[in-house]
Amino acid sequence: MPTKSLFTPPWWAANPHIQTILPFIFKVAKPDIFRQRQELPDGDFIDLDWSGTPQNGEPILVISHGLEGSTESHYARRMLVAAKQEKLCSVVHHHRSCSGEPNRLARSYHSGDFNDLAFTLQQLKTYYPDSPLFAVGYSLGGNVLAKYQGTTQNDSLLDRAVVISAPLTLSACAKKLEKGFSKIYQTHLISRLQKKMSEKLDNNDLVAQMPLSKAELKQLKTFYQFDDKVTAPLHGFNGVEDYYLRSSALGLLKHISKPTLIIHAKDDPFMTEAVIPTQDELSTSIRYELHDNGGHVGFIDGGWPWKPSYYLEKRVLTFLLAKQPETLQGDNQ
């Protein structure tokens, strides 16, 4: 069973859409960062945004953002600020094409691709071999992080990890976003994905590798359609169902060997109960915390609508920086 909830929203933020949308509107100021470009083995690149200067022997926190996120995302900004206050060096690992500049290849990133994250972690371990490595992944980035943890098991380079609002069962989440108010989020994100794909269709070096035309791209209205016609063929999957099945992290949770905290909200407008693991699906290295409220990467716990305060950063840092690993799944309430 999940651990007893430690999070309670204020009366004015009990609604899941307020929890999800308000943080997007009232972002904290972004701390000073410096950018490092990382060349990838396949000729592409990703950008790392650093807050603080890494020193061998000092811990480093890697932030993996969600779909179409970046350092500009409200949760990434707050995590960078909170880490700085703890004198913890942190770095945002951008997925391909998410740092403000198009990536070079026809392919991009997807919910199950942890190879770029693994590359970043290996680079960090090479240059800072004595530094403990922590990671926090949000939404899509949380599923990526969970897949990395479950696939690498004892070989994970992370000392501890936190997974937040992750779509651990992709097919169910795609269907949820086709219904009710959740369609608003789908429309917003699909439009951003279409814009990036349209730019690649304008690139003479890439257009021949693209799996559809601009006219066909404009017809895609749902994640299911987009993933079937774009994500799956661009990344070597045999259609959308194959992509969702092979990229969902839920079935890998039982293989995670390094201390990992997973946080979900029951009222997450991006999710259904299909993302909630059973006790048998959790390894003893996982602490699973399921909250009644919180929305999608929200978890406003106080303040006022124009200046909310948040639960996530406090919880993440408490877990990552504890002198001894917290009691994990075995003692969950």
In the chain the domains, ranked by start, together with CATH numbers, are 11-169+249-331 (3.40.50.1820), 172-247 (no CATH)
DSSP string, 36-97: EEEE-TTS-EEEEEEES---TTS-EEEEE--TT--TTSHHHHHHHHHHHHTT-EEEEEPPTT
Q: What is the pLDDT of residues 242-272, one digit of tens each?
A: 999 999 999 999 999 999 999 999 999 999 9
- Active-site choice (139, 156, 171, 248): 139
- Active-site choice (65, 268, 283, 285): 268
Whether 139 is catalytic is yes
DSSP class of residue 158 equals -
Q: What is the pLDDT of residues 277-330, one digit of tens each?
A: 999 999 999 999 999 999 999 999 999 999 999 999 999 999 999 988 786 654
Record the pTM: 0.95
Burial class (CB in 10 A: 0-12, 13-18, 19+), 306: exposed
pLDDT at 3 over 70: no
Whether 268 is catalytic is yes
